[in-house]
Chains A and B, each alone.
Chain A
Amino acid sequence: MSGRILVVEDDERIRSSMRLALEGEGYEVRDAASGEEGLDLFAEAPTDVALIDLMLPGMDGFECCRALRRNSAVPIIIVTARADTHDVVAGLEAGADDYVTKPFVAKELAARIRALLRRARPAEEEPGALTFGDLQLLPEQGVLRRLNGEEVHCTRTEFRLLCELAASPNKVLSREQLLDRVWGYDYFGDGRLVDVHIRRLRTKVEADPAVPQHILTVRGMGYKLVP
């Protein structure tokens, strides 16, 4: 599988080694040493996945994520030094789809990229169109819109997550199931990925995200979609 990857990383040697490793996995790689340069490169040519280091000089990784998110649904993977910090949650809230920690294994990174690219293409088992609240989900067209025709913009990961929940309405899906189906993680996937994406989805789908009516948390079990 090939794809066009944008790497934003300030350390020159890491950048070069990432380029070598990812090219070895068959990806087409462009790299930038700063957030600003990364945004310029992104605007120049189409990108399938953006890989952004959180610790960047000048514009930091969070800001870079937010800037990308303002006008693109491109899958973003953030690179962080530590998994057990609030940086991960902050990065996800800034719009990232997934994260890897340094030092990462190139194979693992390639697997994360593959999962995101897979998701960017139509899934095999799409749920039919579903209407809930004043929203209409059209999986085949990749569209979520309000009944008045206004489109609700969400990232591919958010859309994919919504489709998984919509595929079995009223049925509880555990975080492990969602991590497996949406991100391609095994049992040890980070549950915060699901939590943050659910939170992001609620701000777009729910009238009052604090009191969700459609995407519900089932304590100790997981999440379910109630039309």
Chain B
Amino acid sequence: MTFDWSVVWRYRDALALGTATTFLLTIATMAIAVPCGIVVASLRLYGAAPLRTFATAYVELFRNLPLILVVYWAFYVLPIVTGVGLSAFATGLAALSLNVTAYNAETFRAGINSIRRGQLEAALALGMTRTQALRRIVVPQALRRVLPVLASTWVSLFKDTSLVSVIAVGELAYVSMQARAQTFRVLEMLTAMAVIYWLLGYPQAKLVDWIERRYVVTE
């Protein structure tokens, strides 16, 4: 069996575009999921009873479902429920956001809980509303504490974007497998895909380790 590794070079533009799409998906999902995670965590901690139940149910639901199933489900259900035809990218983004928001909500809940209650009480005693106290005192401190976990979630998300390839979103995994189908160069393209993910993911994982060391909080 002969291997033709030049096919990877020939498809470099497509692979680069796929990589860019992967990054775009990751960034966009985090941009949505971090604020939404804070909101859901706040609902769960400080909301009225029905909101609290909703937030808890939401988090428990999406933490206990495989992401690939959420992707498929979003692909078929969202157009019907929302009445609009979403692009595959938007559907993938929606599914990823729903999933990561749930994880972030748990992360922020733990982070907010780790800020001593005295801070919130002092803020309230100074006359701030609860929202003001959260926004100006608690959440900024919690953000710093949860940074390592968020970084770890980022790396997981980066890898999970590969799952939206099943609904034909043109990220790295999809592009690689399309190239494989077109050229029949299975080993070359699949190995290239693995290597590219490794080249992108390894530094990110090391960065997460560094962030964990740098931002470790000991009280």
A binds B: no
Q: Residues of A at under 8 Å CB distance from B?
A: none
